[in-house]
Structure formats: structure tokens, C-alpha cells
Amino acid sequence: MTKKEKSATYVSELESIFKCPICEASMNVFELKSFICSNNHTFDFTKQGYLNLTTHPMKTKYSKDFFEARRKLIAEDKFFEPLIQAIAEMIRRQADIKKESLWILDTGCGEGSHLSNVCDKVRSDFGKAVTGVGIDIAKEGVLAAAKNYTHNIWAVADLANTPFKDKRFDVILNILSPSNYAEFNRLLRADGLVMKVVPRSGYLKEIREDLFDKTVKQDYSNTEAVDRFNENFRILDSFRVHYTRKLNQPSIQLFMQMTPLTWSAKKERIQSFLEKDSADITVDLEILIGRKTN
């Protein structure tokens, strides 16, 4: 079977979670080629195996090179491994492990490495079925996810209009990406969890100090993001992930390709950082774990 056919077969087994992003009708896989709602709105499976469920074109700044660099750092260099371990452990502690299966949605999945790694770890911890679904508005990221991780569902989708029925997910991951808390509450089951990862003040401080003068780019506060999360969910726990990794020259090249910090930095400062033989990079993140309030 081709990737397209394999993906369509997998989605056909799980199609009950979906709704049409245009009219909200139920959807069905047709001839392992298309995903069609009862009102005949049609979305084709791509040859890579993902679905584009947006209703209009969306442009982002994220390129194919951005996501390839990100995948290599995450999947091959294990740059975010402590974060993945912490997320899996928080799910193990807080999720209802009596269920036969666990449904995890990653909102802002990028090229899929975080979701794939989390699902793999949770599967080994729970010893039961875990279904991973990743969405992002960046088509290049979802394409890379479908190419490299075939055991999950991947879709280009709008976070303001997600193509899923109400109360279908046990866990929603939101890792260093925008949120839509109204949608999160709609999609979560009654006992579902939201796990939002936000940067703390020390996150990538070495890069920010090298690329920028004394500005907001150097001094970052997550207070507003944390307060807004607290307003929308009942806080169960929070966990700080803090460590420093030494990057060699090839990894520095990858990192500078995948960080949006370079988008607003001067070229000469970027070049100066790229010429380093090695660099210590601080990861300073906070995992917020919340449950629905109603």
C-alpha cells in the first residue's frame, strides 16, 4: 500500500472523531482517496498521507528547511528529550489510565517529532493503545510529519476551526505555540487534560543575548500566558524543565535554521553566532497542566 492508502485506511478506522470544517457534518473515507462529508464537501489525501482540512489558503513563515532542521535536532540530537520525558510523566500521573485507549491531540504539531515521541513513551508507560493526532497551519510541517511518522494522523487545520467533534480527546498538547482555549474546552473530554508548554525567562538566553541588544527579545516574561491559562482551566500541576545543552558546529547550524529569533535579528549577528565552534544553549520551560472547569 502507498502512504496515501495506508493513511486513508487508518483514518477510516477513526473517522468518527472528525467533522467537516465547512458544514460540521460527519465524514467518511471514500475509496482510500478522499475524505467526504455527508454534504459532499471533499478533501483529498495527499501522496504523503496527510489531510488538508483548511477552508482557505494560509501562509506562514515556516519553510521546509525550518522543519527539517527542527526534526533533526529533536529526533536525532534529542535536544528536547527532557521535555518529552516530563510530558509523558505528567500524562502518566494525571490522565485516567483505566481507559483502554488514550487520545492525544497536538495543536501546533510542526513536523511531528514531539507528538510522536510523547505517544511512544506513553504507550510504553501505559501498555495500551494511544492514538496521536497532530494539526498545524503550516503545510510544510505537516508534510514532514506524515513523511517521517506514519503511525499518527496528520492534518493541516485551523486552530480556530478544528475538524473534530466535541469531547473527543483525553489530552491536548500545546507546545510553544498559539492557543485557542474555547476550542480546547470543546474538544476535551470531561476529565481531559490540557498541557501547555511556555518559555521561562532563561529560555535560549545565550542566543537572545548574542542576537539582540537590551530589549524585550532579551528579557522575556511568560506571566501573561500563565495568567490566561489559569483563567481558562483548573490548574492541576506545573513543572519546570531546565537544562543546558552544548551544541557542536553542525547542531548550531541546525538550531539557527529552526529558531524564529533569527527572523528579526541582524544578519551580521546571526553570522557571528553561526561561526562558533560550540555553544551552550539553555532550555528553560514550564509545563502547565489543567483540566476543564465545566
**16 lies in the same domain as 128:** no
**36 lies in the same domain as 107:** no
CATH classification of the domain holding 146 = 3.40.50.150
Single-letter code of the amino acid located at 236: L
**65 lies in the same domain as 29:** no
Instruction: State which residues form the domain around 167.
Output: 53-291
Burial 74-107 (b: 16+ CB within 10 A, else e): bbebebbeebbebbbebbeebbeeeeeebbbbbb
CB 191 within 8 Å of CB 213: no
Q: What is the pLDDT of residues 247-271, one digit of tens each?
A: 999 999 999 999 998 988 999 999 9
Cα dist. 93→88, 97, 280 in Å? 9, 9, 32
Q: What is the pLDDT of residues 106-123, one digit of tens each?
A: 999 999 999 999 999 998
Describe the crossing of helices 64-71 and 249-258 by its angle, rounded to 10 degrees: 130
**44 lies in the same domain as 178:** no
Instruction: Give the SS3 label for residue 25.
Output: coil
**140 lies in the same domain as 174:** yes
Distance between alpha carbon 278 and the CA centroid of its chain, in Å?
A: 28
Residue found under cell 503550516:
138
**35 lies in the same domain as 84:** no
pLDDT at 231: 92
Q: How many domains does the chain have?
A: 2
**36 lies in the same domain as 95:** no
* Confidence (pTM): 0.94
Going from the first residue of the chain to its last (294 residues), give the mean pLDDT of each consecutive group of 10, the final group possibly shorter.
94 96 97 96 96 90 90 92 94 76 95 96 82 96 95 95 96 95 95 94 91 69 86 93 95 92 91 95 96 81
Q: How far apart are CA 109 and CA 155, in angstroms?
A: 9
**84 lies in the same domain as 222:** yes
**66 lies in the same domain as 124:** yes
The cell numbers describing 221, all together, are 516574561
**154 lies in the same domain as 190:** yes
